[in-house]
Chain A
Amino acid sequence: MSHGYQAVGWSPFKKRYDLVLGGLLAGYLALFSLATLLLRPEITAETLLIRAFGTAALLLLHAVLAIGPLARLDGRFLPLLYNRRHLGVTMFLAALVHGALATFQFHALGDAPPLVSLLASNTRLDSLSQFPFQQLGLAALLILFLMAATSHDFWLAQLTAPVWKALHMGVYLAYALIVAHVALGALQDERSPLLAGALGAGVVAIAGLHLAAGRREAALDRERRAAGADGFVEVCGVDEIAEGRARVVTLGGERVAVFRYEGRLSALSNVCRHQNGPLGEGRIVDGCVTCPWHGYQYLPASGASPPPFSERVPTFRVRVVDRRVFVDPRPLPAGTPVAPAVVSESGGGG
């Protein structure tokens, strides 16, 4: 949040997450190396490391891409989302080691500088089996570098969340480039169908998860609600909102979260200032709306973070009539206090 930036905002959870991640990565590299040495004892150390780090990066990239839709489809995956940035940076570092070793092995011993050799040594764009797949990998690595280098909250503030998110959507372009890099590179010399099958299964799984999550999100955004004469829109019944939770509806071209807490109702823009997290999927903690992604907090009646933090989100007027909830779809400036609608617990409306 908006106070002094730290290199990493460590918490016990993040430390455990990183320990598990580091352990899994080290375990994978050791197992891969052992299995490869047993199956292909003639392999050189450089080739072994290139393949070990390349496949590790590919697996991590699939995990990075799967966590988002999995968390949308099932809240039990949310904890994996909290520290996804560390997963992404780890994936970039594994890809960087793979790229650096490959560039050294294949391009460092010629007359031209390694990067010049990488770009110029193969221009067979008309051949599938001889396609310059290394350039595809380099392009993907540049995208992954930009994402890793801008993963700190400083960049989220400087770029603003929508621009930051758009930049980080580049991961899908990087994924496409990497799939092509593997298909046109390693798979061309591979006799076993194992790698091709695993890559295909990975692509299908990632596409399937995104389609399933996207369908669910699109259904929410398609709901149309007519405004009454006073401009207020009927959203739901009071009893459809659980205590400390929210009902999310799309109003004014964006989602609105209507929270119920302590016999009152308040409505905020659903878009958290931090990474545009879905506030309406969070809950009230210590009297504050708490984003499920990274714990950013806002006072429900004003949309302002409690001091010393300074984040603010737009607010909306709410009223309750006959235990039906109505929201004015016209947003108020971020941080504008709005009197909550009072809910009578014994029936009627406030």
Chain B
Amino acid sequence: MTPLDVATWIVRLAGAYAAAGLLFALLFLFVLRGVDRIDPSARAGSRGFRWIVLPGVAALWPLLLRRWLAGASEPPEESNAHRRAAAGGRG
């Protein structure tokens, strides 16, 4: 395989991923509005918000698709040393 072949495949795969992401983003943000289901703050969000997060949704679509399919209704809770210790219970 020549460098040109490798580069062609990389660009094709990246293009397919980006195209799938763009399609997902349009459905997720504007048509099926999955974003409203996984994040309550999106329901009252502006249209401008949907456009401004579109590039990120197209880039990280597998993460959001997984959360949407899993039926998430709130953003995840963050984890740090204090929160882990508090969740572990105390005497």
Among the listed B41, B86, B90, which residue makes an inter-chain contact with A4, where contact means beta carbons less than 8 Å apart? B41
**Is A149's CB within 8 Å of the partner chain B?**
yes
A133 to chain B, nearest CB (A): 16
Residues of A within 8 A of B62 (CB): none
A198 to chain B, nearest CB (A): 32
**B77-91 interface mask toward A, CB cutoff 8 Å, 1 = contact, 0 = none?**
111111101110011
Residues of A within 8 A of B10 (CB): 119
- Tell me the complex Cα distance, A55–B82, Å: 43
In the complex with contacts A4-B46, A152-B49, A253-B85 CB distance below 8 A: yes
A145 touches B59 (CB 8 A): yes
**Is A271's CB within 8 Å of the partner chain B?**
yes
Instruction: Spot the interface stretch: A23-31, A108-116, A182-190.
Output: A108-116
Closest A residue to B77 by CB, please name it: A160
Interface size for A (C-beta < 8 A) is 45
Closest A residue to B38 by CB, please name it: A158
Residues of B within 8 A of A3 (CB): 41, 44
- Tell me the complex Cα distance, A269–B90, Å: 16
**B7-35 interface mask toward A, CB cutoff 8 Å, 1 = contact, 0 = none?**
11011000000000000000000000001
Residues of B within 8 A of A276 (CB): 80
B87 touches A271 (CB 8 A): no
B45 to chain A, nearest CB (A): 4
B79 touches A6 (CB 8 A): no
Among the listed B51, B75, B86, which residue makes an inter-chain contact with A314, where contact means beta carbons less than 8 Å apart? B86
Instruction: Spot the interface stretch: A237-245, A290-298, A327-335.
Output: A327-335
B39 touches A162 (CB 8 A): no
Among the listed A120, A157, A162, which residue makes an inter-chain contact with B3, where contact means beta carbons less than 8 Å apart? A120
B41 touches A5 (CB 8 A): yes
- Tell me the complex Cα distance, A170–B85, Å: 28
- Tell me the complex Cα distance, A336–B85, Å: 14
Residues of A within 8 A of B79 (CB): 160, 162
Binding site for B on A (CB under 8 A): 2-8, 112-113, 115-117, 119-120, 123, 145-146, 148-150, 152, 154-155, 157-158, 160-163, 252-254, 256, 269, 271, 273, 276, 313-314, 330-334, 336
Beyond A4-B49, A332-B90, list 19 extra A-B contacts (CB 8 Å). A5-B49, A6-B49, A115-B7, A116-B11, A119-B6, A150-B59, A154-B39, A154-B49, A158-B76, A160-B79, A252-B81, A252-B82, A269-B82, A331-B82, A331-B86, A331-B90, A334-B83, A334-B86, A336-B86
